[in-house]
Structure 1
Amino acid sequence: MLNKTLFPTEPYTNVIEAVVPADSALPLVAPSPKASWHLSSPWPIFLGAVFLVSVPVLFQASLVRWQPELSLALTAAWLGLALWLCQREHTRLWGDLLVGFTWTWFAGSIYWGWMRWEPLWHLPIEAIALPLAVICLMRRQAVVGSWFYLGSLFGTVVTDLYFYLCDVIPAWRQVMSASPDELHPIFQGALARVSTPWGFALGMALVGILIFVGYMPLHLQRHYTWAFGGAVLSTLLVDGLFLIAAIAA
């Protein structure tokens, strides 16, 4: 059931051709189980997804504060590299994955570069490429990248939901405009809110959701399911790193 619904394997044809042309550089899913799409272990794609969610965000977090225009311009470089990799049989899976990463980088550059002071805009901006991901999935193009993007977006939704339910959004706004010397009391106040029984119980529940949603697709030996699972599970790593940073501040 999971393989036929959440991760469709048959192409859809009711999408406007002009949106994603049939001759697009984005790779199509090979229809045969014997095709190269299914041959190798999905572990490299899983680890690649974890890396792309957890490591570049540390670099981008600093870049967007000082050079948001450069961060946004790098989107074109990432996309160019992704399409170049997609043109080659031996690297097209990595190019496909990088397409999804390009969407997350683009959204992150816009929000964290110019709109980070308003948390209400976070999810709408992070979801800016959602229509494109859906279209690509319907066309069976950039499937690995699309599911990677959806996994990353799902993790963002869960994290933001926790912030809203624990009422730490005011601290978010304060952190974005505070000087380094002012961060400590803000972080301490936010930690006090999440250290309550409600904050702990909610955190455990959402961690359980992330583990379940991230782990279940790994039962399917497909690169795109492992890209999705890796992106979801790596949310725990990223959130854990930021929690440690808040405690140490």
Structure 2
Amino acid sequence: MTTTQPIQSTSRLMQTVLAKVKESQIWLVFLASVFLVCVPVFFQAPLVRQWPELTLVLTLGWLGISWTLLKQPTTWVWGDLLLGFSWSWLTGAIYWGWLRWEPLLHLPVEALGVPFAVWCLYRGWGKVGNWFYLGSLFGTAVTDGYFYITGLIPSWRQLMHVEPALALPIFQNALQIVSTPWGISWAVGFALFLFGVGVFPLQSKEQHWWAFGGAVLSTILVDSLFLIAACLA
């Protein structure tokens, strides 16, 4: 055995370990993306109805945490992801805090961060967070499209003008629309479309594509939970 053989064996072992670590981190990025899409829906939405100003100010907190994590080599990916989440949180706070009564403004407001995201991606900076933000926005666009196609926009407007305790009849009416062959066929079609768009990036080993895929696929999860909630109501 030559002296180079132990060195080569150690090198291969290190490469294997690093590959395993990167693979596990990719999955963590994916799961974190799913979680961060769910946070605005189940935490920010009720918070912003009561304290819109506080919700808006909290964006600075997310940005501060993101900046702190970005400065550390071991945590930069989480800071990057949190930066993209900050855009989703900011635009969500603006819309649901002051403009939620008009569905036509939902997607334009949620897309306010797109120029910044595109500029950053053009410069090759913040890929994980910006692709997460774009994936989340893509899922939002598909969900809004379903509302328009199936005629659920009037129900949306009604829900925004009543107290939660009085929302049951509106939910029941919306559920009747969703339960029609038209509503079911479009729901299945959009779900399959989201699944395809979300799964395709997972063929890559790049973290930013897994952030994008996680954000897109989580749209199916969130929409399904809303449907279940409507059925239980």
Residue of structure 2 equivalent to 1:91: 75
1:100 aligns with 2:84: yes
Residue of structure 1 equivalent to 2:213: 229
Residue of structure 2 equivalent to 1:136: 120
CA distance in 2, matches of 1:113, 1:248: 27
Residue of structure 1 equivalent to 2:14: none
Residue 22 of structure 2 aligns to a residue in which SS?
coil
Q: Deviations over 1:116-169 (max 9, x none)?
A: 010000000000000000001001111000000010000000000000000000
Confirm or deny: 8 A CA contact 2:40 2:92 kept in the other structure. Answer: no
Residue 160 of structure 2 aligns to a residue in which SS?
helix
Residue of structure 1 equivalent to 2:138: 154
1:40 aligns with 2:37: no
Are the structure 2 counterparts of residues 222 and 39 from structure 1 closer, same or farther at C-alpha, using a change threshold of 3 Å? farther
Are the structure 2 counterparts of residues 78 and 155 from structure 1 closer, same or farther at C-alpha, using a change threshold of 3 Å? same
Residue of structure 2 equivalent to 1:14: none
1:68 aligns with 2:52: yes
Higher helix share: 2
Q: Deviations over 1:172-226 (max 9, x none)?
A: 0000111234211111111111111111111110001100000000000110000
Unpaired runs of 5+ residues, structure 2, are 1-17
Tell me the amino acid that sits aligned with residue 70 of structure 1. L
Residue of structure 2 equivalent to 1:186: 170
Confirm or deny: 8 A CA contact 1:38 1:222 kept in the other structure. Answer: no
Larger Rg: 2
Q: Deviations over 1:68-107 (max 9, x none)?
A: 0000000011001101100000000000000000000000
CA distance in 2, matches of 1:122, 1:38: 41
1:210 aligns with 2:168: no
Tell me the amino acid that sits aligned with residue 153 of structure 2. I
Match of 1:165 among 134, 143, 149: 149
CA distance in 1, matches of 2:80, 2:119: 15
TM-score normalised by length of structure 2: 0.89
Tell me the amino acid that sits aligned with residue 134 of structure 1. V
Confirm or deny: 8 A CA contact 1:38 1:223 kept in the other structure. Answer: no
The share of aligned pairs that are identical, in percent, is 56
Q: Deviations over 1:8-40 (max 9, x none)?
A: xxxxxxxxxxxxxxxxxxxxxxxxxxxx99961
Residue of structure 2 equivalent to 1:119: 103
Tell me the C-alpha RMSD between the 2 structures.
1.5
Confirm or deny: 8 A CA contact 1:116 1:122 kept in the other structure. Answer: yes
CA distance in 2, matches of 1:247, 1:172: 16
CA distance in 1, matches of 2:141, 2:78: 25
Tell me the amino acid that sits aligned with residue 212 of structure 1. G
Residue of structure 1 equivalent to 2:181: 197
CA distance in 2, matches of 1:66, 1:246: 22
Residue of structure 1 equivalent to 2:158: 174
Tell me the amino acid that sits aligned with residue 221 of structure 1. K
Tell me the amino acid that sits aligned with residue 159 of structure 1. T
CA distance in 1, matches of 2:20, 2:51: 40
CA distance in 1, matches of 2:165, 2:112: 34
Tell me the amino acid that sits aligned with residue 213 of structure 2. G
Residue 57 (structure 1) shift: 2.5
Count residues in correspondence: 214
Are the structure 2 counterparts of residues 199 and 160 from structure 1 closer, same or farther at C-alpha, using a change threshold of 3 Å? same
